[in-house]
């Protein structure tokens, strides 16, 4: 059983999309995702501007807590993805996480390609929902 909360965020750091399974204790995951932005910010600023093009989008494990692992991913346009998984879930290794992020990123790009989507709005997309659902199903 894994708890997975995910959020895409813009530069202004408000959540575009956030979802967690199971839904109880959701608030706690919101807080976890929010606090993880500290580390994301720090990592982005540490990377500097020089290597914007070649830099790795996947930030890796942001910080370990007693019960959860928090991973981060930042697109070139500084949209942040955060994933929180149960630390007891050993099936998820770095590679799996990385490919999950890539999937998320692709799906997000699809949303951005939608001419009716307004960058910065909260995401209400069935395709994105389905993708996230299937990903969570896999993990759990």
Sole binder of another protein in the list 25, 52, 65, 130 (CB under 8 A): 65
94 near another protein (CB under 8 A): no
Which one among 11, 22, 42, 99 touches another protein, defined by CB under 8 A?
Answer: 42
> Would you count residue 34 as binding another protein (CB under 8 A)?
yes
Q: Is 19 left (phi over 0), alpha (psi -120 to 50) or beta?
A: beta
Would you count residue 88 as binding another protein (CB under 8 A)?
no
Size of the site for another protein (CB under 8 A): 25
Q: Which of 11, 22, 25, 38 contacts another protein by CB under 8 A?
A: 38
Yes or no: say if 36 and 72 are a contact pair by the CB < 8 Å rule. Answer: yes
Minimum CB–partner distance for residue 6 and another protein (Å): 15
> Which of residues 102 and 112 has its CB atom nearest to another protein in the complex?
112
Strands 68-74 and 58-64: antiparallel
The answer to whether residues 111 and 128 touch, using CB atoms and an 8 Å cutoff, is yes
Residues that bind another protein (CB under 8 A): 12-15, 18, 26-27, 30-31, 34-35, 37-39, 42, 62-63, 65-66, 115-116, 118-121
């Amino acid at each position: 059983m894994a708890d997975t909360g995910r959020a895409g965020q813009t530069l202004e750091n408000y959540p575009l999309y956030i979802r967690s399974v199971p839904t109880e204790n959701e608030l706690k995951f919101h807080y976890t995702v929010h606090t993880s932005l500290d580390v994301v910010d720090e990592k982005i600023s540490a990377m500097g501007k020089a290597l914007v093009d070649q830099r790795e989008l996947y930030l890796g494990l942001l910080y370990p807590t007693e019960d959860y692992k928090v991973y981060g991913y930042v697109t070139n346009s500084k949209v942040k993805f955060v994933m929180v998984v149960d630390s007891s879930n050993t099936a998820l290794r770095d590679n799996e996480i990385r490919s999950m992020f890539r999937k998320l990123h692709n799906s997000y790009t699809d949303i951005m390609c939608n001419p009716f989507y307004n960058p910065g709005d909260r995401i209400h997309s069935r395709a994105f929902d389905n993708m996230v659902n299937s990903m969570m199903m896999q993990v759990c």
